[in-house]
Amino acid sequence: MTFQNSIEFARGLDAQDSLSKYRDEFHFPQVAGKDVIYFTGNSLGLQPKRTRKYIDEVMTDWQQLGVEGHFHAEKPWWDYHERLAEPLANIVGASPEEICVMNTLTVNLHFLMVSFYRPTKKRFKIICEEKAFPSDQYMLHSQVKFHGLDPDEVLVEVKKREGENIWHTEDVLEKINEVGDELALVLIGGVNYYNGQVFDMKSITNAGKAVGANVGWDLAHAAGNIELKLNEWNVDFASWCSYKYMNSGPGNASGIFVNKKHLSDKNIPRFEGWWGTNKKTRFLMKPEFEPTESADSWQVSNPPILSLAPYLASLEMFSEIGMPALIEKRNKITGYLEFILQEIAKEVNGSFEIITPNDRGCQLSVFLHGHDKTLFNYLMENGVIPDWREPNVIRLAPVPLYCSYEDMYRFGQILKAGILAEK
């Protein structure tokens, strides 16, 4: 399609958009009485309007039933989390028994490391990407030190090439083969938080498995954003947060994937708790842990129902729409945003360097050469909410569930006005 930088063209795209009706399903912050142009769904998704109904339902059950809500609520609490497994399985490419919703992302990565990072004298190294999200770096360092090892000797970072802003798949594969039989684990962010690059998870997983390592993925910026086929790719484990593209609310519950080949292994090491034991015998209070033959066996505590309710509300929309339709719009609206940026750069004789490669999801990271945070502040004051990263990068995520093509056009006009105001 040949794009045009005009309000008429943008509105025409919105009129043809089968997902445009979902924009009205969300609450938007406002500036000067108008809905903002919201580009930070890769940090915190907007609140779905149907969320309140799901939370109120739980509050009413708690009010009217007390503890009996565990078994007699309309959606009984004792198996509430199971309702999220099937829609999440469809989003990440898994079967429902491979999914569990519990804890938060870094907590879950720590729990999964107990099972899948088992260093030996020979096989102890971990491959990750250069400058992974800080929480992942802290988690990896602390896990390595917990095993009495030196992070400088264990952690192997795959670096970007000199002068480049992206990783090359062949460099990752080369590093895996170089470490070879010393490699215990590959753990990388499926979509890099800074530049928005999607890693070739299939090829990297295959390479890691070929040298005998376990392979896991941090899918914080991937789940609900890109196509995932975790089971088909033979991934060992993965975890993600729910509050970015899946709109479950700030700091809300995380999800995990554990490949079904591990589920029947009763000897796999893990931290254990009551809610991970066999559902049929859980309330017999047996002293021995009897793991559920599903990812639920990694769940140590009863689920936080008030946290799961908003997640379930949002997943209902994902089930209605399906990932293929979301990905189709994601590609189109992100492409239109890229076009708008290029057109505005021509009009103001500016230099915008998009550092996100074509292997991307719903994010463009843009170097604003010659500009400082003054331009970001101008955008914020004029109804645009992007994300600022030092030294002069803005991250823009045109989430297909609630962003419009008209938003992309209007953003371009505000950006142009901000640049001209600086001159």
pLDDT confidence of residue 391: 84
Cβ(222)–Cβ(247) under 8 Å? no
Residues of the chain with CATH 3.40.640.10: 53-321
Is the Cα torsion angle 32, 34, 40, 46 positive or negative in sign? positive
Radius of gyration of the chain (CA): 23
pLDDT band at 333 (very low <50, low <70, confident <90, very high): very high
Beta carbons of 239 and 223 less than 8 angstroms apart: no
Domain 7-35+322-422 has CATH 3.80.10.10: no
pLDDT in tens, 98-150: 999 999 999 999 999 999 999 999 999 999 999 999 999 999 999 999 999 99
- CATH 3.90.1150.10 region(s) of the chain? 7-35+322-422
What stretches of 322-400 show up as alpha helix (H) in DSSP?
323-348, 373-381
Rounded to whole angstroms, the Cα distance separating 225 from 399 reads: 8
pLDDT tens per residue, range 226-276? 999 999 999 999 999 999 999 999 999 999 999 999 998 888 999 999 999
For residues 125 and 119, what is the distance between their CA atoms, to the nearest angstrom? 8
| DSSP string over 173-230 | HHHHHHHGGGEEEEEEESB-TTT-BBP-HHHHHHHHHHTT-EEEEE-TTTTTTS---T
Pairing outcome for strands 183-189 and 125-129: parallel
What's the confidence (pLDDT) of residue 267?
86
Between 280 and 235, whose confidence is greater?
Answer: 235
Supply 200's token pair: 């070739």
Kindly indicate the confidence band of residue 422, based on its pLDDT and cuts at 50, 70 and 90.
confident
The CATH topology of domain 53-321 is Aspartate Aminotransferase; domain 2 (3.40.640)
Average pLDDT value for residue range 307-320: 98
pLDDT of residue 1: 85
